Structure 1
Amino acid sequence: MSNLVSAERLSLMLGTRHILDSVSLGVSAGDRIGVVGRNGGGKSTLLRLIAGDGEPDSGRLTRTGGLTVGMLSQADSLDPGATIGDSVLRGRAEHEWAGDARIRDVMHGLLGDLEMSALGGHGTDVRSLSGGERRRIALARLLIDDPDLLLLDEPTNHLDVEGVQWLADFLVRRRTRPEHALVVVTHDRWFLDAVATLTWEVVDGRVESYEGGYAAYVLAKAERARLEAAAEERRNNLMRKELAWLRRGPPARTSKPKFRIDAANALIQGEPPARDEVALASFATSRLGKDVVDLLDATVTVGDRTILDKQTWRLAPGERTGIVGVNGAGKSTLLRAVSGDVPLQAGKRKVGRTVQLGFLTQEVRELAEVAGMTVIDAITDVRAYTTLDGKEVSASQLAKRLGFSGPRQQTRVASLSGGEQRRLQLLRILMTEPNVLLLDEPTNDLDIETLTSMEDVLDGWAGTLLVVSHDRYLLERMCDRQVALLGDGRIRELPGGVEQYLQLRHDQQQRTSRTAAAQGSSATGSSAGGSSGAASGSSGGSSGAGSGGLSAAEERQARKDLARAERTLNRLHEREQKLHDQLVEAASDHARAAELDRELRGVQEEQEAAELAWLEAAEKLG
């Protein structure tokens, strides 16, 4: 493959810190490169240099002649006075974009509810849109332009689970010309695995290269660490020998002792400084009783939208649940209903007596009251000491373990980066020692190293955890179960996890398309037929239950769903029977019996979900 971009010994300093230190690298045609590293480590800076937006202090960067480069930055560069259509299509004639399947795919995949405004080239002004909507427009415009080298800085921000999967599929399957290349900065580990064929880690001014996506990067980095540890062990053994000889040796009266002293000093001088590692620790939690938070026959509305419609949901002690859904489905509102911040229009919220609730919201408004404080004062404002692993730890010691070492502890909260503020926000919440933790998009502004550290502390956390996130990797890593909000006022269990959610959304969109097509068809028929068709479409859209008006395709799909649910129930019934038999045999082995009991409860939950699926399919068939 031809080389598109070559960088030789690039160096760039910010103040007294080396952002890039003699970095040499290249981007070849066909490369799909993921860039990872700590916040503030230089990832975005590297991307801007590759794009030609800025110059290094030293070194040389060359690009192939005629190379087209497009970059999605984290800053909003759209014209606020332009319409959606003008911003996305850049004046393309209707026949040009309407006849291009790739452009239509981008508009449908990224714009969604904004698509109708964009199609006519007019519609809403950009200034009236949210930050997330503007970012989707900028990404859509870039993908439609289709440059040779695509540079994306955090493209999954503001995309839901479906949007992330669509973008990954598009970048892998649609951008297949030999001269195409991609460099993407992201903290979304699932996205990295799905897209990247090469991973760059920006660390301490260097760029380390690894073959493959996130999983391969973790494995390769672990192997490098193992080899470095072995080399370091040999080095330390040599150092100990040298120092022991110096202690035993006579005063330096000949050249031989001086030589040995110089050798030992060289060894000591070569010791690398300790890295500022982010290390989270397990926090003590008060014991939960059997009652946590229950929403009983709850109804929650926001404006004219119904988020929950007479739903009952009980959180259990130690439950770890992830919530997925499209943007605007009400996931954050559901968390606020659980926390009590949003009142119920009907039903009841019941809270256990021992519950101590911590809530990490998407905004860092909790830090507004401490914006003028230093980091250390913001931590001691909550608690000066806490107990970790049976030992009393001061706020200063804890701040160091969270990466706020040295002068950073004296930095004003208002001057911290977004990732640092998010880390401080989480720390202050954990310092209150909650036993029920609600996390609303906890991955926002966190780098992968901090994410894995956060997951590590929550792995051993004994409380109840409720997480809203578009980060598929985090949901599957941290949560034992997932539920979905599909916009119909129900909380749906997802025994099949995120994959099942994506299938449900696909089926929902297919039904919507068929209903719209049926309504359009009936509108061109006779008035009597149109009336009948409209009634049928209305019935199908409102309840999803069959009323004798199913199309042949819908009936076939319902029968397939029914058969699938029956097979699942038969399999689960057999598994349940085997578990009962194993429980009888393990009656004297308490540990084994507890493990089997947990597995049995999981099977019973899957049975309930399968029974609901069977009932839904049976209702459609009448």
Structure 2
Amino acid sequence: MAHLLGAENLSISFGTRTILDGVSLGLEEGDRIGVVGRNGDGKSTLMRLLAERQTPDDGRVTRRRDVTVGYLDQSDVLDGDLTVGQAIVGDAADYEWASNARIRDVMSGLIQEVDWNASVSSLSGGQKRRVALAKLLTGDDDVVMLDEPTNHLDVEGVAWLAQHLKNRWRTDAGGLLVVTHDRWFLDEICTRTWEVHDAVIDPFDGGYAAYVLARAERDRMANVVEGKRQQLVKKELAWLRRGAPARTAKPKFRIEAANNLIADVPEPRDTLSLNKMATARLGKDVLDLEEVSLTLGDTELFKNVTLRLAPGERLGLVGINGAGKTTLLRLLNGEIEPTKGRLKRGTTVQTAVLTQEVKELDEVADMRVIEVIENEKRVFSVGGRELSAGQLVEQLGFNAQRQWTPVKELSGGERRRLQLLRLLVGEPNVLMLDEPTNDLDTDTLAAVEDVLDGWPGTLVVVSHDRYLLERVTDHQMALLGDGKLRGLPGGVDQYLELRNAALVANSSASTAARGSSQAARAAAAGSSRPGSGGGVATAVASGSSEAEKRIAKKDLTRIDRQMTKLKQQVEKVNAQMTAATEKSGGADFEQLAELNKKLQSLAADQEDLEMQWLEASEKLD
């Protein structure tokens, strides 16, 4: 495999903290690499260095001379004054970009629900992210680097992106480097994994599942010596625990040696044992939505929806953006009154909701982490043991130093962890989580899942992370945007099948309507400008024959050539108008009028050719 790019002895520090120390690695053709590690360990920094968007303190990045790199940052880098179309394809005419199969695929996968003519500044954060991703993927880079590309994508968008990246290059061509917390996505597309930790990078073969197995084996091998020491600890303890008379006779140095061995046993890398937090008892009635309908403005989100949650039920919700997943949680929590129907709530039900924005922490922004938890309680019963607030937050990943950090200085992932802990210590018996995986690294996600595995109450999870859904929920339901709530016995795969079927049906309907409309426009154009070249004026029949498709392909090739020539003529006339204006100071009105008339004629010819191109392309759909 040919070398694409690499790093030699890269080192970088921020303040007193070393992020990478003497790292050397390489990206070869055909590599599909996922980068994992804890938040703050340097995943994004590594990618910025390799993309040459940041300069290392020491070492260098090497790149083959002809290699081009496309890089998607987490920050918003789009020009807000541009329209969506300009941001993605620039000033290219429709026929130019629409004739490219890759661009059409990207548009259909990412930009279907975004207004093509809307300004970038008017878009939501999620829509801007989709536009930035589309802009990158329409290019033809040798190496694509993606930093958290699945953020703001729904389950369907993540599945499309995985399929696109799998088919983007031949198996032995191109290079992909992706930082993401979506473990299903890593498993689906990656052939190698880089783990960033403790200022070094450990490579593993395979995706996330293979990485977890390989890491466990690596740790097992590294712990052979530790295992021998643990056996010695057990022997020493057994010796010390023999009868009281014998214990009094033990030499003091033996007791001290045993204590030193016990004290030297390291803590696990990630500890999170909040299993079975005390919860109020749930009766047989929890939360029931009965024949609920809800209209917000002119949109009817729900139509006669019935949902009954049982004690200990674990439900996952998936759906398209805007279908009402978050609103459904607010209905269950009693924050919104339904337009029709009712919410029936059990008498012992105590709900808690983890929102996407975690705005609940704004009211305690100036408090420290430990103070936030101490406000709830000072002593907690966890797994039959009593823990202080400090011990509890340490088990959730806040070490002694981070416990005294003001809430306003926490990262997004730390804020989400703190709010989840805050909810759990409040001892609810119904927990609702809205996109809980945002901003969390893979190790923390595994730890949170461990919490949820042992949590005894009723759980409702809204997430695009299918790995999480399949891990912590027993069944899933879908909102497809038609006001109904559907059960998914086949899980997330069934949801994707339903969405694909709906898209195919909508595409067929819109194609028929578009073909009819274009035929009418072509007929009108032909009657108003006879002899202008707009000779195609018949409706396109669905299901074109192979012969018709061959003719359509030839027509497209011919039309492309004609449009290229027309574009060159337009540029030539524009140049002539500029030259005439400069030469005569704009006084030669006769020449300018003649050139303008010619320009209008060329524009009319362009419009006719575009109509012909669209109709020929319909025969190939």
Common topology (TM > 0.5): yes
Pair 1:195 & 2:189 matched:
yes
From 388, 398, 408, the counterpart of 1:404: 398
Pair 1:23 & 2:23 matched:
yes
Report if aligned partners of 2:270, 2:447 keep a CA contact under 8 Å in 1.
no
Report if aligned partners of 2:272, 2:450 keep a CA contact under 8 Å in 1.
no
Deviations 1:161-197 (A, max 9, x none): 0100000000011233744100000000000000100
Pair 1:426 & 2:420 matched:
yes
Give, in whole Å, the separation in 2 of the partners of 1:29 and 1:485.
41
Pair 1:328 & 2:322 matched:
yes
State the Cα distance separating 1:212 from its structure 2 match.
0.4
Give, in whole Å, the separation in 2 of the partners of 1:151 and 1:523.
41
State the Cα distance separating 1:217 from its structure 2 match.
0.5
CA 1:496/1:405 → structure 2, altered by over 3 Å: closer, same or farther?
same
Amino acid at match of 1:464: T
Pair 1:279 & 2:269 matched:
no
State the Cα distance separating 1:232 from its structure 2 match.
2.4
From 342, 345, 358, the counterpart of 1:348: 342
State the Cα distance separating 1:105 from its structure 2 match.
0.3
From 362, 377, 381, the counterpart of 2:375: 381
Deviations 1:312-362 (A, max 9, x none): 111111110100001111100011111111111111111001111110010
Q: Secondary structure at the match of 2:467?
A: helix
Pair 1:288 & 2:301 matched:
no
State the Cα distance separating 1:203 from its structure 2 match.
0.8
Aligned partner of 2:463 in structure 1 is 469
Give, in whole Å, the separation in 2 of the partners of 1:241 and 1:463.
42
State the Cα distance separating 1:231 from its structure 2 match.
3.2
Mapping 1:222-301, distance limit 5 Å: 222-234=216-228, 274=267, 277-282=270-275, 283-301=277-295
From 438, 447, 453, the counterpart of 1:453: 447
Aligned partner of 1:92 in structure 2 is 92
Give, in whole Å, the separation in 2 of the partners of 1:514 and 1:387.
59
Give, in whole Å, the separation in 1 of the partners of 2:62 and 2:212.
31
Deviations 1:565-620 (A, max 9, x none): xxxxxxxxxxxxxxxxxxxxxxxxxxxxxxxxxxxxxxxxxxxxxxxxxxxxxxxx
State the Cα distance separating 1:277 from its structure 2 match.
2.8
Aligned partner of 2:144 in structure 1 is 150
Pair 1:83 & 2:89 matched:
no
Identity of matched residues, %: 55
Structure having the higher Rg: 2
State the Cα distance separating 1:96 from its structure 2 match.
2.3
Query: Structure 1: 5+ residue runs without aligned partners?
Result: 243-263, 527-550, 553-622
Aligned partner of 2:50 in structure 1 is 50
Report if aligned partners of 2:70, 2:141 keep a CA contact under 8 Å in 1.
yes
Report if aligned partners of 1:276, 1:405 keep a CA contact under 8 Å in 2.
no
Aligned partner of 1:180 in structure 2 is 174
Amino acid at match of 1:431: V
State the Cα distance separating 1:94 from its structure 2 match.
2.9
Q: Secondary structure at the match of 1:422?
A: helix
CA 1:496/1:361 → structure 2, altered by over 3 Å: closer, same or farther?
same
| RMSD, aligned α-carbons | 2.3
Give, in whole Å, the separation in 2 of the partners of 1:456 and 1:196.
25
Aligned partner of 2:37 in structure 1 is 37
Pair 1:9 & 2:23 matched:
no
TM-score for the superposition, normalised by structure 1? 0.77
Q: Secondary structure at the match of 1:406?
A: coil
Q: Secondary structure at the match of 2:341?
A: strand
Pair 1:483 & 2:480 matched:
no
State the Cα distance separating 1:41 from its structure 2 match.
0.8
Give, in whole Å, the separation in 1 of the partners of 2:509 and 2:93.
30
Deviations 1:474-504 (A, max 9, x none): 1111111000001111110010111111111
Q: Secondary structure at the match of 2:186?
A: helix
Query: Structure 2: 5+ residue runs without aligned partners?
Result: 237-256, 521-541, 544-621
Aligned partner of 1:305 in structure 2 is 299
Mapping 1:486-565, distance limit 5 Å: 486-520=480-514
Alignment size in residue pairs: 497
TM-score for the superposition, normalised by structure 2? 0.77
Pair 1:416 & 2:446 matched:
no
Q: Secondary structure at the match of 1:313?
A: strand
Q: Secondary structure at the match of 1:145?
A: coil
Give, in whole Å, the separation in 2 of the partners of 1:71 and 1:27.
15
Give, in whole Å, the separation in 1 of the partners of 2:127 and 2:318.
19
CA 1:390/1:237 → structure 2, altered by over 3 Å: closer, same or farther?
closer
Aligned partner of 1:217 in structure 2 is 211
State the Cα distance separating 1:144 from its structure 2 match.
0.6
Aligned partner of 2:106 in structure 1 is 106
State the Cα distance separating 1:239 from its structure 2 match.
10
State the Cα distance separating 1:406 from its structure 2 match.
1.5
Q: Secondary structure at the match of 2:36?
A: strand
